[in-house]
A and B are shown apart, each in its own frame.
Chain A
Amino acid sequence: MSLNVEHHSVRALPSEKPIRLLDNAGHAVHGAAAGGFELPDVETLVELYRRMVVARRFDVQVTALTKQGRLATYPSAYGQEACEIGAISAIEARDWFFPTYRDSIALLTRGIEPGGILASFRGDWHNGYDQHAHRTASQATPLATQALHAVGLAHAARLRQDPIVTMTYLGDGATSEGDAHEAFNFAAVWQTPTVFLIQNNGFAISTPVSRQTRAVTLADKAVGYGMPGYHVDGNDVAAMYAVTHAAVERARAGGGPTLIEGLTYRIEAHTNSDDPTRYRHSRDVEHWKRRDPIERLEKYLVSEGALSEAARAEIADAAEAVAAHTREVMTAEAELDPLELFDHVYDRERASLLEQRARLEAELADAAMHAADHAGAAR
């Protein structure tokens, strides 16, 4: 493989009307509005439904645990399940995912344990799972920085003729960052197998998209980089899956990167420390709640006779089991070793860190001795 790729730069603007395969009432959409994409088969849709139901139950549970003080913070993805789950379901275990802090439910779908996903929000460590085992990078907090990692890893894999794809999620606010531009540009110039998903959920904390960009759609940005862009109804999991799946297949076949904008809405606050009533009207939230991604798919599957009562009950049970497991893990006291603070900074041993580690160790021993003395005196 060489960097001397054939350039097929793209000039077509994405459609202004978002691509949609299921409308709000759960009816199949055909023709131009479907953007040439086909509704996924019913087994795939049932699986996407299951994943979204489990994800929402998890999200609701974690928000509740945050209110109980079990987590320091939690950025909810309630209402964004179609974006989160549709896109992540389009990549395989061998592919790499580069998430942001809001993408916990995508990590859950990726098979990562709740305790691992939430370690950083609970405050145990900055990351709680094995990146290599799950082929999933840490949840990035600085905006758009992880998109460059996705491009770099994709390029390295391509040089090794390893047919994997990288996928990264960005928020609407992140598109204003320089690293978003650099990532889009590097990916397009190097023709890396990378899928960028911009989850346009309306707000960057409190700043609306209208104050973030003058572009008609965020997907329009793709044109300037010479890659395809798709503007998709982000509350339609069928469309999200179909469009990202096509982008993943194209990337895997050597067709380069794709930029996808999923148009959705953040129902909850930015995090538990946010007050969304200061910057948005409840009628907007109600409007978006009526466009719920799970209900939409459920209506379709029920109307198709593809979701029996028994199946729904079984899925609900599975979701409850995940919630129960999450409660169990997050209410147990974390076992932390302060001395581990020094263990992973460098691969090579560093004298100054060993000295500082010894100092903390002595302080801890001292504190333990005093505690024992006090306990003895109290008896």
Chain B
Amino acid sequence: MTATSTKPDAPEASAPTQLTMAGALNAALRDAMEADDRVVVYGEDVGPLGGVFRVTDGLQERFGEDRIWDSPLAESGIVGTAVGMAMYGMRPVVEMQFDAFSYPAFEQMVSHVAKMRNRTKGRMTLPMVVRIPCAGAIGGVEHHSDSSEAYWTSTPGLTVVMPSNPADAYSMLREAIESDDPVVFMEPKSRYWSKAEMSLPVRTAPMDRAVVVREGTDATLLAYGPTVRTALEAADAAAAEDLSIEVVDLRSLSPFDDETVGASVRKTSRAAVIHEAAQFGGYGAEVAARVTERNFHWLSAPVLRITGFDIPFPSPKLEEYHLPTPDRVLAALDTWEWDD
């Protein structure tokens, strides 16, 4: 094994295949490990089991235990050792298994992963990816369905992205691994089994860009990860009432794509942000404030937030009451005065 990087050659696109998001992430890890021998993958149960969501399925067989292995059960240890590995020049991709399991690693994330580059005036950067399966709607028990994005997005030095579909999942994970900045890569669990046809290696929009996924003229729904589908369903339903709703998939939570979002909001003059996380101090507050600060004179209504309640994530049998639904989105849109 040598310490040299091998840049991905212009790869030949495969025939179109049907892939789930979990399958697309698996393919992205496989292709990244194939393209660059500095990429290593570890975490809890990622080896023979292939991860509890099978995102790493078959990778240990293919690449061996020196490239992908099961770590002791300790999240701070996983992230902290990844810091050291990245310092040496590897590109570790580590898994947190479940969102709420990442909290023991919080100190490593905010005190070291986020700050190392700044602390060392750019002499030491940490090219690492922390994969965090996130959010609810899979019937998980307590600590298996949190939305922790605001903790990471309010930490300067971290890049935080969340794909909502299989093609983005592949493309954004490849880009995250190639990035010299540390990336928190959030994977909405409820979308792991969503399917799409694609030719690998697919490259969608750059990781730091938001994308308009549905054109409209009357209002903009800003969504990410699991709520993109909610927004699209709400937009479909609204169309039946002659409302033309644009849906923007934010994709990148930090940095925020003010340009794409601003262009949409200035076109429609109304905006609402949808997320599963609690509302108070949540990511939607940042979105609403930014959109208002930059586009106030184009807005004809206050920016709305359709979010989970300000409660700890509920038990599986109650989560349907907590999570934002298309109906809740439509009800929120009804609170606007539609006089123009």
Contact = CB atoms under 8 A, between A and B. Distances in A.
B71 to A, nearest CB: 7
B156 A345 contact: yes
B77 A126 contact: no
A343 interface: yes
B117 A156 contact: no
B81 A152 contact: yes
Contacts of B216: none
B66 interface: yes
A351 B262 CA distance: 14
A126 B156 CA distance: 15
A185 B80 CA distance: 13
Given A1-B66, A346-B157, A186 B77 contact: yes
Interface stretch (A176-184, A209-217, A303-311, A317-325): A176-184
Nearest to B115: A126
Nearest to A352: B255
A348 B108 CA distance: 22
B157 A153 contact: no
Interface in A123-175: 125-127, 130-132, 137-138, 142, 145, 147-157, 159-162, 166
Contact of B77 (A148, A340, A343): A148
Contact of B111 (A142, A150, A178, A352): A142
A186 B117 contact: no
A127 B71 CA distance: 31
A183 to B, nearest CB: 7
A126 B119 contact: yes
Given A179-B76, A183-B77, A346-B181, A157 B88 contact: yes
A147 B72 CA distance: 16
A13 interface: no
Contacts of A162: 3
Given A127-B120, A185-B77, A347-B117, A145 B107 contact: yes
B124 interface: yes
Interface string B234-258: 0000000000000000000001101
A145 B84 CA distance: 11
B85 A156 contact: yes
B8 interface: no
B319 interface: no
A179 B104 CA distance: 10
B81 A151 contact: yes
Interface residues of B, number: 52
Interface string A332-368: 0000000010011111101110000000000000000
Given A151-B81, A345-B118, A131 B87 contact: yes
Contacts of B88: 152-153, 156-157, 160
Given A126-B115, A156-B90, A348 B181 contact: yes
B208 interface: yes
Interface string B45-73: 00000000000000000001110010110
A4 interface: yes
Contacts of B40: 156, 159
B65 A2 contact: yes
Given A344-B122, A346-B181, A350-B255, A149 B117 contact: no
A47 to B, nearest CB: 29
Interface in A228-265: none
Contacts of A186: 71-72, 74, 77, 81
Interface in B110-138: 111-112, 115-125
A186 B87 CA distance: 17
Nearest to A184: B77
B88 to A, nearest CB: 4
A1 B66 CA distance: 8
Contacts of A131: 87, 120, 123-124
Interface in B256-272: 256, 258-259
A301 interface: no
A315 to B, nearest CB: 33
A138 B84 CA distance: 12
Contacts of A159: 1, 40, 66, 90
Given A3-B66, A142-B111, A149-B84, A125 B121 contact: yes
Nearest to A149: B84
A130 B41 CA distance: 28
Contacts of A348: 159, 179-181, 208
A153 B84 contact: yes
A347 B181 CA distance: 6
A142 B107 contact: yes
Interface string A1-30: 111100000000000000000000000000
11 contacts: A1-B66, A127-B120, A145-B112, A148-B79, A149-B112, A153-B88, A155-B84, A179-B107, A186-B71, A351-B259, A352-B255
Given A148-B81, A149-B80, A182-B74, 12 more contacts: A4-B65, A126-B118, A148-B83, A159-B1, A179-B80, A179-B107, A179-B108, A186-B81, A344-B117, A345-B157, A350-B255, A352-B255
10 closest cross-chain pairs (CB), A and B: A152-B84, A148-B80, A152-B81, A182-B77, A153-B84, A156-B88, A149-B84, A347-B180, A156-B85, A344-B122
Interface of A: 1-4, 125-127, 130-132, 137-138, 142, 145, 147-157, 159-162, 166, 178-179, 182-183, 185-186, 189, 340, 343-348, 350-352
